[in-house]
Amino acid sequence: MTPSINFRRHIFSLICLSTLAIALPARAGKTLDAVKQRDQVACGVNTGLAGFSAADSQGKWSGLDVDVCRAVAAAVLGNADKVRYVPLSAQQRFTALQSGEVDVLSRNTTFTLTRDASLGLHQTAVTYYDGQGFLVSAKANIKSAKQLKGATVCVQAGTTTEKNLTDFSRTNKLDIKPVVFEKFDAANAAYFSGRCKAYTTDASGLASIRTKEAKNPKDHVILPELISKEPLGPMVRRGDDEWLAIVKWTVYGLIEAEEYGITSETVNALKNDSTDPVVLRLLGKSEDTGKLLGLDREWLARAVLAVGNYGEIFEKNLGEKTPLGLKRGLNAQWNKGGLQYAIPIR
């Protein structure tokens, strides 16, 4: 056998192996196995942040972060109600995920290099593009964060917010005096009791706090500046690529469903009537994308049917018709002036 023939056969073998690997279904990861065995997704959430994750008087959880976990449960277990919510403080959240107490952390958590590279965790997909802002009393007549020179500012420990505040103060020579609290509720109480001149956290969080905690929300103003980028989204443990893929692609699926007009009310009709090849692929009618994730072909259809597409989730939890009254802004679809851009499901 000549070297050239041997080389050609070697290349042909590699191509065949590569093709076979692409065609094979995903191997079920240990997290997926555990979730299926207990028939429940353990979801780490905020202890109470209206619009993202909060429980009502009957203990029913709702919010954008909650709906992400519900969508994962629907995709994996066929039932969006098969979720156990674990309320976590900022200090507890990463340890709870690292230790296996929760399967996914869906808790208004900012993606950063440090968190992605040094905590043994994986970032998935951005569910809310945010930025750090300041809440002040309307009576203070403060129009800009740069007017906070020498001011006391309430901030929660164990967050990106704390470091951002220090950087902002140093850069602008404001000599801001942080008043740091371990617990979310303590920081809220301190601000509304007048202990701090301002409160700083993600702007969406400030809108939530103002709506839930203020006697009269109109008495408090969120200043226009955003002093940081805060891309929020769910995180999972490293070492389980299969589970990472499931959570990531569930989020992308909800975003892409909105782009192609698939809603909780139209899912079933589109399965039968649509001729759009993308819609048919997303709903599992023409292609079985689920086998690549270790799921069945209707994984995404179930998720959208259970919680709605990304736009539906945003509007019912955070949108202009809710008490928070937030506009889509950066969280609009990419073709409507926003940053929400799903990697194609194909």
Q: 29: pLDDT confidence band, cut at 50, 70 and 90?
A: confident
Please tell me whether residues 137 and 276 are part of one structural domain: no
Structure confidence at residue 26 (pLDDT): 52
228-269: pLDDT as tens digits: 999 999 999 999 999 999 999 999 999 999 999 999 999 999
Last residue of a domain, one of 204, 228, 252: 228
**Average pLDDT value for the chain:** 92
- Per the structure, the complete domain to which residue 192 belongs is given by 132-228
Structure confidence at residue 296 (pLDDT): 97
Structure confidence at residue 28 (pLDDT): 59
Q: DSSP letters along 242-283, please?
A: HHHHHHHHHHHHHHHHHHTT--TTTHHHHHHH---HHHHHHT
Please tell me whether residues 43 and 174 are part of one structural domain: no
- Of the candidates 212, 221, 211, 231, the one whose C-alpha atom is nearest the C-alpha of residue 145 is 221
Residue 70 is assigned to a structural domain of this protein: yes
Residue 6 is assigned to a structural domain of this protein: no
176-217: pLDDT as tens digits: 999 999 888 999 999 999 999 999 999 999 999 999 999 999
CA distance 294 to 32: 9
Please tell me whether residues 142 and 172 are part of one structural domain: yes
What sign does the dihedral 19-22-28-31 (CA atoms) show? Answer: positive
Structure confidence at residue 198 (pLDDT): 98
Please tell me whether residues 212 and 166 are part of one structural domain: yes
Structure confidence at residue 218 (pLDDT): 94
Please tell me whether residues 118 and 137 are part of one structural domain: no
Please tell me whether residues 248 and 200 are part of one structural domain: no
Average the pLDDT over 328-333 and give the result.
Answer: 97
Decide: helix, strand or coil at residue 159. Answer: coil
Residue 337 is assigned to a structural domain of this protein: no
Please tell me whether residues 156 and 224 are part of one structural domain: yes
Residue 341 is assigned to a structural domain of this protein: no
- Give me the number of domains the chain comprises: 2
274-297: pLDDT as tens digits: 999 999 999 999 999 999 999 999
Phi/psi at 156 (nearest 5 deg)?
A: -95, 140
Structure confidence at residue 114 (pLDDT): 95
Cα angle 225, 227, 230 (rounded to 5 degrees) comes to 115
pLDDT at 6 over 60: no
Please tell me whether residues 120 and 161 are part of one structural domain: no
Please tell me whether residues 264 and 185 are part of one structural domain: no
Residue 344 is assigned to a structural domain of this protein: no
Decide: helix, strand or coil at residue 317. Answer: helix
Please tell me whether residues 143 and 65 are part of one structural domain: no
pLDDT at 1 over 80: no
| Predicted model pTM | 0.88
CATH number at residue 141: 3.40.190.10
Q: 13: pLDDT confidence band, cut at 50, 70 and 90?
A: very low
Please tell me whether residues 141 and 286 are part of one structural domain: no
Cα angle 225, 227, 233 (rounded to 5 degrees) comes to 110
Residue 25 is assigned to a structural domain of this protein: no
Residue 20 is assigned to a structural domain of this protein: no
Residue 79 is assigned to a structural domain of this protein: yes
Q: DSSP letters along 191-221, please?
A: HHTTS-SEEEEEHHHHHHHHHHH-SSGGGEE
Last residue of a domain, one of 228, 247, 275: 228
Please tell me whether residues 199 and 237 are part of one structural domain: no
Mention every residue, 6+ apart, whose C-beta is less than 8 A from residue 23: none
